[in-house]
Structure 1
Amino acid sequence: MGLAETTGTMTSTQVRKTAALTVGLLMGVWVIDYIDRVMMAVALPFIGAEYDLSKTEQGWLITVFSLVYLLCQVPGGILADRYGARRQLMVSLVLWSIFTALTGLAWGLGALLVIRALFGVGQGLFPGASFKAMAERTTPESRATAAGSMLAANQLGAGVAPLIVAPLILLLGWRHTFWVTAVAGVIIGFMLWKMLPPALPSHLNGSDRAERQGVPLSLVLRSASVWKFAALFCAANMLGYGMMTWVPSYLLEERGISLISTGFMSAVPSLVMCATTFVGGWLFDRYFHNRARLFVIPLLLLTALLLVVMLQAETAIGFTVYQTLALGVAGLSTMGVLGMPFRALPPAVVGSGMGVVNVGGQVAGVLAPVLMGLLVDKVSYTAAFGLLIATTVLAALIAVIVPQRPEQFTFGTKETA
């Protein structure tokens, strides 16, 4: 099944309703997606204690998922472009719910690594399909705002996860907590299947532009512009993965905070980042879609500065305050990083194109947990968080070379920055 189309005309109200319902449903799925991911980070101290794992071994439980998730990005995008978004969304949800439940049945480190790798397959099929579904059901002019809303759900999930997961772990244990979350995934999957609206007509969602341009898939995968944004997303995404994985353990072990307090203090920065990601998408669409560097570079540099101040905080509350400010500013930059390729890619190839960009982001998911775990084992938490400062500055430097406007985002061999 290729790109789905709707025949006839649609009113502006119908177009807005289609976009709003699509955004709402995909936000719900992304929330469950990130609850599933953050749940492992919150449970790490308990899993580590049960199996006597080092910090490096605990980091591998996150990294093995991220590695498989990374490898599935481009294939997942290609499959979404070729067979359509709706079915792939459902396959992804079913698979990751199964392996979330199986995590609670694991009997050792080896079993956990295998299950988390398979969990990465299930979730790895989702991003390309979600971008594809979004591109089919929104107009190009509103796409960055819509994507900002959808991606803000990442941080909403990361924010609410500790508030939900920490009490459940204390009440039920870490194994039963994974089973409860698996049921939630099944419920939201059923809602998505029943309620996802048909795609907009091609002249509204811009898919006719792909036919006029004649962009072959192979050219998208070889596009220097696409890979520049993948590199930028990699460097920028180190911050999110690093904080999500190691802040709960840091607060528990270094600051002596209780699990419930740790859950709350881990949630606040992510919830703030959720709000600023949404605002960043709106600002990018309205003021900066042709001036991405002016938007992204100052925000990334300010984020790095706030991280430096965070490391110097003497109290857990001070640490959380500056972490919140840093992630809030980083959230504003998110749609500057992702908005340009998402606006410029034709809907017919947006799944595979954004799959390539997301490969970069998931390289960060592979590197950040294990590198930071190694730094904690060998040096200190301060050194581990210092790595995130360096990669955030690197993201600002990479932003200098990425295309700023749709006309600069080409698919040929001669591309301008």
Structure 2
Amino acid sequence: MLKKENEAGKNFNWKVLIIITLATMTGGLYRNGIMTLFPFIQAEYGLGKAQLGLYSTFIYISSVSVSIFSGWIADKWGTKKSMIAGLSCMGVFIFLHSYSINFVMMLLLASATGLGLSIILPTGTKGVAEWISKENRSTAVGIITLGLSLGGVIAASILPWTASAAGWKAAVILLSFTYFVVSLIFFIFYKNKKSADSEGKDGEKKDKNKKPAISVQLKILFKDKYLLALCFLGIMFGVASGITATHFTLYLYSDFGFSEVAAGFGFMVFQLGSMAGRPGWGILNDRFLGGNDKTGFNLLAVLIILTAAVLSFLSKLDPHISILLFIAFVLGSVGRGWNGLYFSAVSKQLGDENTGIGVGLSLLFVRFGIIIGPPIFGLIADKTGSYSLSWLIMAVYTVIALFTSNILLSKSEKSAVKY
């Protein structure tokens, strides 16, 4: 079934994209939606902004520690088995959040949930690399990462209301059950590309499951200077992503006096911007920039700098809510909309067979940025009493990181390894 649809080669396999996007959307329900419950969790446990920022840090501590291994697993197990394992793991540990007796227990469960989360993106990107041609890959990866933001929008629409009516633990239980349902759907409807290809080949059996040892593959990848330059760039995007997702709801809640539900609505608009940005930047790159990833990276970074600079002064001006919502949309489109462009660049550099471990390696750097950004950003806000200085420092950091990344990419571009 899937094989026939992919015979055209360069055409989009929409059925595959929809199934993978459903899985990534489910991952996004937690990754991008749990933040909408932060005001409720903060009130129950009496937490500061820096303490709440640790939740995102703990999610990604485990993700970072196993990201390369998760990518290798995606290459070895294949898309189907890996995705089901990741979603099921997340469902179990999200459900256990409802038994948390203190914030420390929540942090441990966040770390455990991150183990499942670490598998989702390398697996989804590998599925795209197997089924979609390079000419359309930025757009396709943008679409599947769109699922992460779509999950955040759905969560922002439902979780705060559920928490207001029945408590945040009830909202977490509702969230957990979606993971088991989607795991079942993925099991029924998705087929690995290798399995589909082998069905009609006169009994031919290709032994592609035997992957080199992970240490051997890593030695090869670490010799690729262009890939390492992309990984350094990933730190910058990780910092922007972690800060905006973790603190934007609290920014509206504390600096502008929004209610918990209103701040959740603002976060939903932020996620809508992310939804528009993920495929949007991929389409811009594939259709209008001639596949020049570096130009796209520069445009993204400049917009992150400008938006962060505006936010640093905004709380002093008492802007109309429509202005805040517009900026929320823009912030989401650049602070969280870079994924499709970035991970497709990694995939194109490495080829189909190494996409999983390559994306896992790049995620190691992205998630390092996600880990260090939110607690520092929140600590500055706690010390100063608002987020103004935090946003300004973020803008300055992005300027420095953009300048450095351009130097590294330019120096390594001509010597980039081709797999």
Q: TM-score, normalised by structure 1?
A: 0.86
Report what 2:298 is aligned to. Answer: 297
Q: Does 1:78 align with 2:79?
A: no
Q: CA 1:291 to 1:133, structure 2 compared with 1: closer, same or farther past 3 Å?
A: closer
Report what 2:347 is aligned to. Answer: 342
The residue type equivalent to 1:385 in the other structure is W
Q: d(CA) in 1 for partners of 2:4 and 2:190?
A: 19
- CA deviations 1:59-97 (Å, max 9, x no partner) are 112211111111121000111112222111111111100
The residue type equivalent to 1:69 in the other structure is S
- CA deviations 1:302-339 (Å, max 9, x no partner) are 33113212332223623332232243345665444333
Q: CA 1:106 to 1:316, structure 2 compared with 1: closer, same or farther past 3 Å?
A: farther
Q: d(CA) in 2 for partners of 1:136 and 1:367?
A: 33
Q: Does 1:323 align with 2:317?
A: no
Report what 2:391 is aligned to. Answer: 385
- Deviation, 1:237, is 2.6
Question: For the Cα contact (< 8 Å) 1:59–1:369, is it kept in 2?
Answer: yes
1:156-305 → structure 2 map (5 Å cutoff): 156-199=150-193, 201=197, 217=217, 218-305=219-306
- CA deviations 1:8-63 (Å, max 9, x no partner) are 99632x8746x212211121122221221233322222222222222222211221
- CA deviations 1:129-184 (Å, max 9, x no partner) are 22222212222222221101111222222233211211111112110111101111
Q: CA 1:190 to 1:46, structure 2 compared with 1: closer, same or farther past 3 Å?
A: same
Q: d(CA) in 2 for partners of 1:395 and 1:324?
A: 23
Q: What SS class does the counterpart of residue 32 from structure 2 fall into?
A: helix
Question: For the Cα contact (< 8 Å) 2:129–2:137, is it kept in 1?
Answer: yes
- Farther off after superposition, 298-307 or 179-188: 298-307
Residues paired across the two proteins, number: 396
Question: For the Cα contact (< 8 Å) 2:32–2:149, is it kept in 1?
Answer: no
Report what 1:415 is aligned to. Answer: none
Q: Does 1:351 align with 2:356?
A: yes
Q: CA 1:82 to 1:144, structure 2 compared with 1: closer, same or farther past 3 Å?
A: same
Question: For the Cα contact (< 8 Å) 1:66–1:366, is it kept in 2?
Answer: yes
- Deviation, 1:104, is 1.2
1:58-207 → structure 2 map (5 Å cutoff): 58-199=52-193, 201=197
- Farther off after superposition, 286-295 or 69-78: 286-295
Question: For the Cα contact (< 8 Å) 2:72–2:356, is it kept in 1?
Answer: yes
Q: Residue 11 of structure 1: which of 7, 21, 35 is its match?
A: 7
- Farther off after superposition, 245-254 or 349-358: 245-254
Question: For the Cα contact (< 8 Å) 1:306–1:326, is it kept in 2?
Answer: yes
Q: d(CA) in 1 for partners of 2:246 and 2:168?
A: 16
Unaligned runs of 5+ in 2: 199-205
Q: Does 1:361 align with 2:357?
A: no
Q: d(CA) in 1 for partners of 2:338 and 2:103?
A: 37
Q: CA 1:335 to 1:8, structure 2 compared with 1: closer, same or farther past 3 Å?
A: closer
Question: For the Cα contact (< 8 Å) 2:309–2:391, is it kept in 1?
Answer: no
Report what 2:311 is aligned to. Answer: 310
Q: d(CA) in 2 for partners of 1:96 and 1:331?
A: 21
Unaligned runs of 5+ in 1: 1-5, 203-207, 413-417
The residue type equivalent to 1:304 in the other structure is I
- Deviation, 1:126, is 2.0
- Farther off after superposition, 346-355 or 306-315: 306-315
Q: CA 1:53 to 1:306, structure 2 compared with 1: closer, same or farther past 3 Å?
A: closer
Question: For the Cα contact (< 8 Å) 2:50–2:375, is it kept in 1?
Answer: yes
Question: For the Cα contact (< 8 Å) 2:231–2:362, is it kept in 1?
Answer: yes
Q: Residue 410 of structure 1: which of 397, 401, 417 is its match?
A: 417
Q: What SS class does the counterpart of residue 107 from structure 1 fall into?
A: coil
Aligned alpha-carbon RMSD (Å) = 2.9
